[in-house]
Chains A and B, each alone.
Chain A
Amino acid sequence: QQPVQSPQAVILREGEDAVINCSSSKALYSVHWYRQKHGEAPVFLMILLKGGEQKGHEKISASFNEKKQQSSLYLTASQLSYSGTYFCGTEGQGAQKLVFGQGTRLTINP
């Protein structure tokens, strides 16, 4: 089942902060975050594993609440280059694949 992302879209001024949420109705073993710019392929940002292990981008942080089956991506002091659509991908029990959310479009204005 597809995870739900919120908000669907957000517009910020450069330097402002943003939080993107990803919520699932099923138990999660890992959550992945990707960013996609218009006309390009998705690019890896972060993996959060059950138990606390993380792998990812230096300037972007994220949290994973296993009990609530939720993850949040935190973008602080946003830069113009952060613009794009952000996707979370979730791994369920026994899965060998990810299920992606519908995406959150982030627009950063000067």
Chain B
Amino acid sequence: NAGVTQTPKFRVLKTGQSMTLLCAQDMNHEYMYWYRQDPGMGLRLIHYSVGEGTTAKGEVPDGYNVSRLKKQNFLLGLESAAPSQTSVYFCASNTLRGVRDIQYFGAGTRLSVL
């Protein structure tokens, strides 16, 4: 049972380049989340989804887009990367109980934008 899998694990981008981060979960979870983590800032929510085909903005959505075409996958896109998007990105998922249940986190993607 893989749980929550993020790809890639590391990436270096140049300013202006685009990329997509993939989050896949095999637990049949309804809710999925994308966070970014910067030193001293904790986890900040970028976007989230409460089910297949739905997405919603979190605290820091600017510069990111997401899609949830399949229940098991949640994609995070950076259309034109900026150095301010250098961060560690975590994906998480949980059950139909939603926010009142355990969030399972992926291992993270470390992104550097030069």
Contact = CB atoms under 8 A, between A and B. Distances in A.
Contact of A102 (B31, B41, B103, B104): B41
B42 A103 contact: yes
Counting contact residues on chain B (CB < 8 A from A), the size range is: 20 to 34
A32 B50 contact: no
Interface residues of A, number: 25
16 contacts: A30-B100, A41-B106, A41-B108, A47-B101, A47-B102, A49-B100, A55-B102, A87-B43, A89-B103, A97-B45, A97-B48, A97-B58, A98-B45, A99-B45, A100-B43, A102-B41
Interface in A77-98: 87, 89, 91, 95-98
A2 interface: yes
A99 B59 contact: yes
Contact of A42 (B31, B41, B43, B48): B43
Given A41-B105, A96-B31, A97-B48, A47 B40 contact: no
B8 interface: no
B99 A97 contact: yes
Contact of A91 (B40, B45, B99): B99
B48 A96 contact: yes
Nearest to B40: A102
Contacts of B104: 44
Contact of B105 (A30, A32, A43, A49): A43
